[in-house]
Copies of this chain bind each other. A is one copy, B any other.
Amino acid sequence: MQFLSEEMSGHLKNSSWIRKMFEAGIELRKEFGDENVYDFSLGNPDLPPPAKVKETLHKIADGILDPFSLGYMPNGGYVEFREALAAKLSKEQGVSIPMSNVIATCGAAGGLNVFFRTALDKGDKVLVPAPYFMEYNFYTSNFGGKLVPVKSKDFTFELDVEAIKAAITPECRALILNSPNNPTGQIYSRREISELAAVLLAKSEEYGRPIYLISDEPYRFLNYDNMDIPSLFELYPYSVVIGSYSKSLSLAGERIGYIAVNLAIGADAAPLMGGLIMSNRILGFVNAPALAQKILIDCIDEEVDMNVYLKRRNAMAEVLDRAGIEYTMPKGAFYFFPKAPGGDEGRFMDALVRNHVLAVPGVGFGCPGYFRMTFCVSEDVIYRASDAICKAASECKN
């Protein structure tokens, strides 16, 4: 009998490549031992949270037996956390963001779902430059929307603003920019975003409905070359910033993030915030986890040490260079997105697995011919994998 919805049955069948990598990893570890498998497939931050998180959690524990210490709060989050968020984001974005324009969410993934539940009408389209984080497909289709990927420029992954312009139709409700980017590690420049903003503004006016520009930026703090990461709030009125502290504080499993709405939206921002808060409630989040909010009230300015990731980036670049694999150097986040040696990524993935290396094929990001390697692993593992990566590359080059 039919226990799943038809849509969910289809989803389950189509998730087979992720399962394949996951199962390959389990098999390899079983056969060769953990230390002989080089896993660059997952973006699960391995650095411990900053020391202040420990101190803060003890402080919270001391007060935990007060009534309502972990009780329901307003659906948008604790006032103290929203105030801390507003102050932090005002500084980061270089524009004033009042507390009333931010809410706490269950990570950035929760924030994106809440936003789409609030803004999408059935049949709406959401554009995204490809390669892109595949989960966006689900976040939009959960609420009757459809994700439309638009190819970025080859190899450098700069925005192809002309291609985006050509893809915009009246059903276009939003465009997602993820910068620093997963999977490419690239940061979009002020020029690219300004050109994009001009196109979106003209189209919003033409259609009489705002096309939102959503900045998904959990990697903002990982900016290795101290580049300009432009604030969308400065450049485009109908913009929304969604982020999380999963990476900056290494607490991805505790689920804490936010949505911030541009003050430039004006009087319409109030009903929009009302809608976001309601979506947060009715999707069953109700509110972002209480403990995470309490931790963040004290620790919002803490960060794991970026230099650890920087050294790993340089180590991985060295290894890829040695293997003769071509890539554009990542400016942020913790991913390389190189060309697959020989051009056939499936063949290269097989070669990597034969050499006990796990990565993710570019097709998993809507961009065949490439692959993603994460540097959420120690330098030691990166260097130890060097021979195996070289061997896999040489197997595929001919």
Inter-subunit contact B57/A64 (CB<8 Å): yes
A49 to B68, CA, bound (A): 9
A292 to B42, CA, bound (A): 24
A275 at the interface (CB under 8 A from B): yes
Residues of chain B contacted by A31 (CB below 8 angstroms): none
A118 at the interface (CB under 8 A from B): yes
Inter-subunit contact B209/A2 (CB<8 Å): yes
Given A253-B290, A292-B289: A61 and B64 within 8 A (CB)?
no
Inter-subunit contact A67/B54 (CB<8 Å): no
A166 at the interface (CB under 8 A from B): no
A210 at the interface (CB under 8 A from B): yes
Inter-subunit contact A8/B117 (CB<8 Å): yes
A69-112 interface with B by 8 A CB criterion: 69-73, 105-107, 109-112
Inter-subunit contact A109/B286 (CB<8 Å): yes
- List 18 additional contacts besides A1-B208, A53-B64, A283-B284; criterion CB under 8 Å: A2-B210, A5-B118, A5-B119, A6-B121, A48-B66, A53-B65, A58-B58, A67-B250, A70-B252, A73-B253, A106-B255, A106-B289, A109-B284, A138-B282, A144-B144, A255-B287, A284-B285, A291-B292
For this complex, 14 residue pairs linking A to B, each with C-beta atoms less than 8 Å apart, are: A1-B209, A3-B269, A11-B275, A49-B64, A53-B64, A54-B65, A57-B61, A67-B250, A71-B250, A111-B284, A135-B282, A138-B282, A251-B290, A285-B285
